[in-house]
Amino acid sequence: MQRKFISQLMSSVLFLAVAPVSFAHAADEMDGTLYLKTNNSIHLFLATEMPNGDRALTSQLNVPEDTILAIDIKDINDSLTLAQSSPERVNYPYIIPGQKNIQKSRLGWACGIRVVDVLDEDLRSSDVIDRTDFCISLPDLRQASSLESNGNAIRQSFFEYKIANTLGKMNSLAKEIDRLRKDREEFGIVDKAGSTETIISPIKNCGKGCIVATSEFGMRRHPVLKINRLHKGIDLRAGIGTQVVSVYSGKVLATRTERNRLTKKVSGYGNYVIVVHPNAKLETLYAHLSAFKTKAGASVNQGDLIALSGNTGIGTAPHLHFETHVQNKRGYTAVNPRNFIGSMLQIVAAFFQSFHFNV
């Protein structure tokens, strides 16, 4: 057993030493995930059982341009490899949106897609948006762009596929990432950053006894739109210009500005930043910002300044909207940030609970 461990460890070291682009840092390769941005509006499909018992892909979500999608490098490599070697295995039957008849695909599909972010507040609140098993047609996949924040190896492998329709780099990378994951599972290897960092407040120098929640995670009546909607984060009191920091070390996935598609006015989340923390198996989002202090693709240490808080988008007063998305088997799911920063808020909650008001 010890000899096997040493052999595999040495092979990993050898790979890292000779590979043209190193996979030495998990954050650089975003833990084996390819992040893409759509360049036009596309349909995402799900496998559906029809009334007669047949199964076909049906359109479940029409996402606008600039939507961020994610797919595991192994899943996309498997689909693209089959599309070249055994196309019948990925030519799933499907139904064109607006029609009822099942069509025979000839161009292939890739499944295992999840929506990371969409510049549409209604879609963001949809029940189906958190699915991680969407399928995308290969022509739509080829039209997507790799995010700058992808690691070099992943970005180059997708570029090679798009330009030359070859999968040599992607195939090698997928195999190596899969092997490293199995090594971690078998030998209990834990990334150092993930084992040593404890989450900090997203508001600089404002922790326990200072940080105040003004709106909680969960279903609520939107204070401006006056409709019931899932609030996927927690709102923290913060004046305009307050320094916002990354709660863990990681990599900036995107800096974004949400606009109304008709009026072009800043709406929804306004200015916001998404940071990926592969070692912590977490994504964090910071919204309604007045200014960006980082850029997409930047590596950040815990506590690094990434933005200034504000009141951009739809809101009633300056604050910081903070979200935490936790990794599961297939993707990330929004969870209550109190699971992470609750201890910093307990004193405030206890203070208000000690008072009784007559209504």
- 275-319 pLDDT tens trace: 999 889 899 999 999 999 999 999 999 999 999 999 999 888 899
Report the amino acid identity of residue 157: S
- Statement: residue 20 has pLDDT above 50: no
Report the distance separating Cα 42 and Cα 137, nearest Å.
9
The pLDDT assigned to 204 comes to 96
- Statement: residue 348 has pLDDT above 60: no
The pLDDT assigned to 272 comes to 98
CA dist 201 → 12, 243, 303, 335 (Å): 36, 11, 9, 16
**Ramachandran area for residue 121 (φ above 0: left; ψ -120 to 50: alpha; else beta):** alpha
CATH topology for 195-353? Answer: Glucose Permease (Domain IIA) (2.70.70)
In this structure, is the dihedral angle defined by the CA atoms of residues 264, 268, 269 and 270, taken in order, positive or negative?
Answer: positive
Report the distance separating Cα 320 and Cα 243, nearest Å.
10
What DSSP assignment string belongs to 220-246?
EE-TTT-SEEEE-SEEEE--TT-EEE-
DSSP structural state of residue 104? P
Q: Does an H or E element contain 321, and which? A: strand 319-327
Reported as a pLDDT band with limits 50, 70 and 90, residue 332 is confident
The pLDDT assigned to 328 comes to 80
Q: Rg of the chain's alpha carbons, rounded to an integer?
A: 22
Structure-token pair, residue 79: 């689909």
Helices (H), the chain: 2-18, 73-85, 121-124, 138-143, 152-164, 168-187, 192-196, 338-353
Instruction: Please state, for a pLDDT cut of 90, what percent of the chain lies above it.
Output: 60
pLDDT tens for 241-285 read: 999 999 999 999 999 999 988 888 999 999 999 999 988 989 999
Give the residue-averaged pLDDT of 226-239: 84
Structure-token pair, residue 2: 């010890």
Instruction: Name which of 32, 63, 64 is nearest 158 in CA terms.
Output: 32
SS3 state of residue 196: helix
Instruction: Name which of 60, 40, 117 is nearest 283 in CA terms.
Output: 117
Q: What is the pTM of this model?
A: 0.85
Paired residues of 62 in beta bridges: 43
DSSP structural state of residue 55? E
- Statement: residue 172 has pLDDT above 80: yes
- Statement: residue 10 has pLDDT above 70: no
The pLDDT assigned to 224 comes to 56
Instruction: Please state, for a pLDDT cut of 70, what percent of the chain lies above it.
Output: 82
Lowest mean pLDDT among 12-21, 84-93, 125-134: 12-21
- Statement: residue 358 has pLDDT above 80: no
Cβ neighbours, 10 Å, residue 149: 24
pLDDT tens for 39-54 read: 999 999 999 998 888 8
- Statement: residue 21 has pLDDT above 70: no
- Statement: residue 195 has pLDDT above 60: no
Question: What are the residue ranges spanned by the domains of the chain?
Answer: 28-189, 195-353
Residue in this structure with the two tokens 């043209």, named with its chain if needed: 20
The pLDDT assigned to 1 comes to 43
- Statement: residue 154 has pLDDT above 90: yes
- Statement: residue 2 has pLDDT above 70: no
13 versus 29: the higher-pLDDT residue is 29
User: Strand 109-117's sheet: what is its strand order?
Assistant: 102-103, 94-95, 55-63, 42-49, 134-137, 109-117, 68-72, 33-37, 145-146
